[in-house]
Amino acid sequence: MLEVSSDARRSAGNRDPAPPLDFQSHLCALEGRGLLLRVDRPINKDTELHPLVRWQFQGGLKEDQRRAFLFTNVTDSSGRRYDVPVAVGALAASPQIYAVGMGRPVEEIEAAWCMPLQARCRRFSWARRRARRS
């Protein structure tokens, strides 16, 4: 169900600090690091899908034990089948998952966010000072 090109698998298998360039590569990178659980059995989107994922947050799992989920056999309460896989928690269910998406180690994420914000703050204060002089 989840067709992934060989280019996506190759880029996902690359352990460079660069972030994956598309979602398929991101899912492959997560799977390669053991951060993605693939669920192939039928899952009811109305009653089972989100409660299964929520257990890891409310059930007391530590952050480093949390995983993203990829449901490949999604149904609903009326028995309808969906041919599109559903990914849940694949962007930020844990700091490790977020780090894969950012293409940086967990320890560098704060700095990655602060650098652009600090630069923007400097530009903003420069523009404010300039506007006061006018």
Q: How far is C-alpha 42 from the geometric centre of its chain's CA atoms? A: 23
| Residue 121 resides in a domain | yes
DSSP 46-113: TTTHHHHHHHHHHTT--GGG--EEEESSEE-TT--EESS-EEESTTTSSHHHHHHHHTS-GGGHHHHH
- Tens of pLDDT, residue by residue, the chain (134 residues): 455 555 545 544 555 568 899 999 999 999 999 999 999 999 999 999 988 888 888 887 888 899 999 999 999 999 999 999 999 999 999 999 999 999 999 999 888 888 777 776 666 665 566 666 65
The token duo for 76 is 């609903």
Q: Is residue 40 part of a domain?
A: yes
User: Are residue 114 and residue 87 in the same domain, yes or no?
Assistant: no
In a shared domain, residues 120 and 71? no
Residue 134: domain span: 107-134
Q: What is the pTM of this model?
A: 0.73
Q: For residue 1, tell me if it sits in a domain.
A: no
